[in-house]
Amino acid sequence: MAIPEPRDDLGLREGYHSPQVDVAVRLNTNESPLPPPAEWLAALTEELGRIAFNRYPDRDATGLRQALADLHGVRRDQIFCANGSNEVLQSLCLAYGGPGRSVAVFEPTYALHSHIAHLTGTEVVEGQRRPDFSLDLDVARDLVSARGPTITFLCSPNNPTGMAEDPTAVRALLEAVPGLLVVDEAYGQFADWSAVSVVDDASPLVVTRTFSKTWSMAAARLGYLVGPPVVVAALERVALPYHLDAFKQVAGRLAVQFVGEMEQRVGLVVRERQRILAAFAGLPVVAWPSQSNFILFRPETRKGNEVWHGLLDRGVLVRDTSAWPGLTGCLRVTVGTPEENDTFLTALTEVLR
């Protein structure tokens, strides 16, 4: 008897992991630096006492999906929820990808789009972004018409580069795709335009969102998409029965009652982001503009990986993207609290001195 080898096509793939190092200032995974409101926690604690834990949860997540529909001004049958938006992406690949099918991505972008596609046995076809990391519409149109992907991924604002896609380009690509266009809006609240406004029952567009970032609920693992009901129905067919636990359904439903507080946190992060960018102007770094809660930058006087280690020695963890294709020498820093950002800027100044 022997333990079998896992699937051959997993062999070369490493997981997508940012090291969870125990340091004082963790600016590596784009979480919110602030907790959700105390009122939310109080309401959650009270409702948890009413959950019938011996029973399976509401399989249709009716209350949660209705709350999200109300938040976006859409119908409940346009909402699909899962355990983090990564699971939404996985469900999309399970339902619309698979062997013999492909997804299109435009690099550099969110690594999990191609990673999840590979895990589901889906081929990945890659186009490159322009040198300034904006989407080249001609490249995108040529790629999708040549390769016929059943899913085309965009990420807006794009992780790890920071800028939102141009609405005109998104609309034009929607006209050109032979399959679904998935716009990952994990940082959507930081942008001044959302593709949710273009979602229509007759259009192959879906928009994914998460509670992990602006909602300060990364621990809860909750994400969703807004899209046509036929897509939602297809995703329900690949989701495991009762995949959304009762606890999470309550947490999400209550969270959206505190949308004003969420927007205030977004405002604070935006102000701090501008402050970091202003400080970068006096340092030997190239920084890219950002419409999100992180900044991509490239130290000019030392190697990215050395700077990453130098920051870690000073108790600051950022994301080392310096060896990623198209991002040579670059690091990505998440905007933290004012104090955390001060610590980061002091450490960076020392490391670059």
Ligand X SMILES: *Cc1c(COP(=O)(O)O)cnc(C)c1O
List residues near ligand X by CB under 6 A: 30, 84-86, 110, 155, 159, 184, 186, 210, 212-213, 223
H or E element, residue 116: helix 111-119
CB of 283 to ligand X, least distance (A): 25
Report the C-alpha gap between 258 and 115 in whole angstroms: 33
276 near 338, Cβ under 8 Å? no
Residue (212 or 341) nearer to ligand X, CB: 212
The residue nearest ligand X at its CB is 84
40 or 294: CB nearest ligand X? 294
Helices 62-72 and 246-255, packing angle to 10 deg? 20
Q: How far is the CB of 46 from ligand X (least distance, A)?
A: 26
Rank residues 244 and 351 by Cβ distance to ligand X and give the closer one: 244
What is d(CA 203, CA 227) in angstroms, rounded to the nearest whole number? 9
Nearer to ligand X, 30 or 122 (CB): 30
- Min dist CB 85 to ligand X, Å, is 4
Q: What is the rounded distance in angstroms from the CA atom of residue 231 to the CA atom of residue 94? A: 12
Of 124 and 279, nearer to ligand X (C-beta) is 124
The percent of the chain in helix, strand and coil, each rounded to the nearest 5, is: 40, 15, 40
Find the shortest distance in angstroms from Cβ 70 to ligand X: 21
> From the CB of 288, what's the least distance to ligand X, in Å?
16
DSSP-assigned states of every residue in 3-53: PPPP-GGGTTPPP--------SEEESS---SSPPPHHHHHHHHHHHTT--T
Q: Which is nearer to ligand X, 207 or 232 (CB)?
A: 207
Residue corresponding to tokens 């280690």 = 309
> Could you tell me the smallest distance in angstroms from the CB atom of residue 216 to ligand X?
12
